[in-house]
């Protein structure tokens, strides 16, 4: 139920904001709006105010604004308040305001979220210096080693670990050149990122980790860690010779060794020491009695800084979205990274469990995607209608109904192909459905 409610909330807000843009722009230029509906029929609530009927449909998968004289086949009176009676500039304003409102919503939500403050892993803003390489990983197979300083991925400069992860994640199962410095000399290796097993989406990874380690935040009195001599602020470098980079690796390593002695390489006060500890058994898992913590930095921007950061982040994410779309066209990005309504519903439910801020963050991301996708020059979408008007302006004449129908049909077919792809992707992420697909 929480998943359904979260999905309805997220999609409802996004559709409302989008259609509100069209509605307000239409009213501003003097177009008569006949209906403003959220969701699809059957209608569960409806009322009229002035010339407009406002209604809510039972299926929260979209919405629309119906304007007088909007379609060429509609009966027209020639009145000045009809959509097609307006100039191309006025119609452009109506069409563009839907996507603009989604982009504006993404900007406002991101600014609000940033203003609340947030924590991020400290290493994300650091240069990409390889700390360790996972055995058997794509990076290990091509000879990338600890200490290598990665400069670019697929000829795109990566200044930080955040840049690096984004660049690699978009190219699962696609061979990419990775340029790095080793001992002062530049080298390039062709690497094929594998798909992460920890994600339902096809996210690329090559198996390199930063040179960071978790520390012990606290030690539970009387538990195995205290008995072994572990202390708060000890930095855990390795367990049984296996490098530990993140706190989740430390928790997993402990859980796998109930009642088994393990050798821990520790950094205490800058000095390396070795501690032998034996996790107690709790059910089928090991428990040491420590709180593993990753090094983080907290961001607490002021109002103006939050607005500036929101603008920067949305521009960055917009560039990534456009790069992903281009990657789909050039086959550098896997279509399996696309998600449809089922995946959005799942994410909405999972994110809602993390709190309102997490849900608003997801909404901001989807709103940015929705705004940009609607601006694509594909007939049927707002951007497609704008393209047709622009071509008519260049030709200095309106296209015939037959030509417009063919263009809209082509756009509809393309959109349906995309919809089939994303829904197929969504279904393959549901375990019991994927088992029914013998070809996978």
CATH code of the domain containing 220: 2.30.42.10
Instruction: Identify whether 347 is part of a domain.
Output: no
Q: Would 412 be classed as within a structural domain? A: yes
Tens of pLDDT along the chain (440 residues) come to 667 778 778 888 888 999 999 999 999 999 999 999 988 888 888 999 988 999 988 877 788 899 988 876 666 667 888 888 899 999 999 999 999 999 999 999 999 999 988 788 889 999 999 999 998 999 999 999 999 999 999 888 999 999 999 888 888 888 899 999 999 999 999 999 987 766 666 788 999 999 999 999 999 999 999 999 999 999 999 999 999 999 999 999 999 999 999 999 999 998 999 999 999 998 889 999 999 999 988 888 999 999 999 999 899 888 888 887 777 777 777 666 666 666 666 667 667 676 788 888 888 988 998 899 899 888 888 998 899 888 888 888 888 778 877 887 887 787 777 767 766 666 665 554 556 555 55
Based on the fold, state whether residues 100 and 138 are members of the same structural domain: no
82 is catalytic: no
The Cα–Cα gap between 291 and 140 comes to 31
pLDDT of residue 433: 53
Do 93 and 145 lie in one domain? The reply is no
Report if residue 323 sits inside a domain.
no
User: Is residue 337 situated within a structural domain?
Assistant: no
Note if the pTM is more than 0.75.
yes
End-to-end CA, the chain: 30
Q: Same domain for 174 and 259?
A: no
Asked if residue 309 is part of any domain, the answer here is no
Query: What pLDDT was estimated at residue 72?
Result: 64
Give the structural domain span for 290: 215-294
pLDDT at residue 90, rounded to an integer: 93
Please give the pLDDT value at position 5.
77
Residue finishing a domain among 209, 240, 275: 209
User: Is 169 contained in some domain?
Assistant: yes
Tell me: do 184 and 225 sit in the same domain: no
pLDDT for position 259: 92
Shared domain check, 101 and 24:
yes
Cβ count near 28 (within 10 Å): 12
| Number of domains making up the chain | 3
Please tell me the predicted confidence (pLDDT) of residue 149: 96
Separation between Cα atoms, residue 360 and residue 397, nearest integer Å: 45
Cα–Cα distance measured from residue 322 to residue 335, given in angstroms and rounded to the nearest whole number:
14
Separation of alpha carbons 309 and 312, rounded Å: 5
SS3 40: strand
- Let me know: does 105 contact 359? Beta carbons within 8 Å: no
Residue ranges of E strands in 192-338: 194-195, 204-205, 208-210, 215-219, 235-239, 242-243, 262-268, 271-277, 280-282, 285-287, 290-293, 296-299
Out of 166, 188, 209, a domain closes at 209
Q: Identify whether residues 138 and 202 lie together within a single domain.
A: yes
Residue 284 lies in a domain: yes
Task: Report pLDDT for 358.
Answer: 82
Is there a single domain that holds both residue 107 and residue 21?
yes
Q: Which residue is catalytic, options 19, 70, 82, 205?
A: 19
Indicate whether 179 belongs to any domain.
yes
Whose CA is closest to 103, among 422, 320, 419, 374?
A: 374
């Amino acid at each position: 139920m929480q998943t359904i409610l979260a999905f309805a909330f997220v999609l409802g807000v996004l559709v409302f904001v989008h259609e509100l843009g069209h509605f307000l722009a239409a009213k501003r230029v003097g177009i008569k709006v006949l209906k403003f509906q959220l969701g699809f029929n059957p209608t569960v609530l409806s009322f009229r105010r002035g010339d407009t009927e406002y209604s809510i449909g039972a299926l929260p998968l979209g919405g629309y604004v119906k304007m007088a004289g909007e379609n060429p086949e509609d009966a027209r009176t020639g009145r000045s308040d009809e959509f097609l009676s307006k100039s191309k500039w006025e119609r452009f304003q109506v069409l563009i305001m839907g996507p603009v409102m989604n982009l504006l919503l993404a900007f406002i939500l991101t600014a609000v979220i940033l203003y609340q403050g947030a924590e991020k892993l400290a290493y994300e803003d650091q240069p990409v210096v390889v700390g360790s390489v996972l055995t058997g990983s794509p990076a290990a197979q091509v000879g990338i080693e600890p200490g290598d300083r990665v400069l670019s991925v697929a000829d795109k400069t990566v200044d930080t670990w955040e840049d690096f992860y984004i660049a690699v994640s978009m190219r699962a199962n696609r061979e990419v050149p990775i340029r790095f410095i080793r001992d002062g000399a530049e080298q390039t290796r062709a690497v094929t990122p594998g798909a992460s097993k920890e994600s339902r989406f096809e996210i690329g990874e090559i198996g390199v980790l930063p040179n960071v380690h978790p520390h012990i935040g606290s030690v539970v009195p009387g538990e195995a860690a205290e008995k072994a001599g572990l202390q708060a602020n000890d930095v855990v470098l390795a367990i049984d010779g296996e490098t530990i980079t993140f706190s989740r690796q430390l928790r997993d390593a402990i859980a796998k060794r109930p009642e088994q002695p393990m050798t821990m390489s520790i950094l205490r006060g800058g000095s390396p020491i070795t501690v032998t500890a034996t996790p107690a058994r709790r059910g089928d898992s090991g428990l040491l009695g420590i709180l593993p913590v990753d090094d983080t930095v907290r961001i607490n921007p002021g109002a103006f800084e939050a607005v500036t950061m929101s603008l920067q982040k949305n521009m960055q994410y917009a560039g990534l979205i456009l790069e992903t779309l281009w990657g789909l066209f050039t086959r550098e990005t896997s279509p399996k990274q696309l998600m449809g309504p089922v995946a959005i519903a799942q994410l909405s439910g999972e994110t809602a469990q993390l709190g309102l801020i997490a849900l608003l963050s997801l909404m901001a991301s989807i709103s940015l995607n929705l705004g940009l996708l609607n601006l694509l020059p594909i007939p049927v979408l707002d951007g497609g209608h704008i393209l047709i008007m622009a071509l008519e302006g260049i030709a200095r004449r309106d296209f015939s109904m037959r030509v417009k129908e063919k263009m809209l049909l082509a756009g509809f077919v393309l959109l349906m192909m995309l919809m089939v792809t994303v829904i197929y992707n969504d279904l393959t992420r549901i375990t019991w459905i994927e088992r029914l697909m013998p070809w996978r």
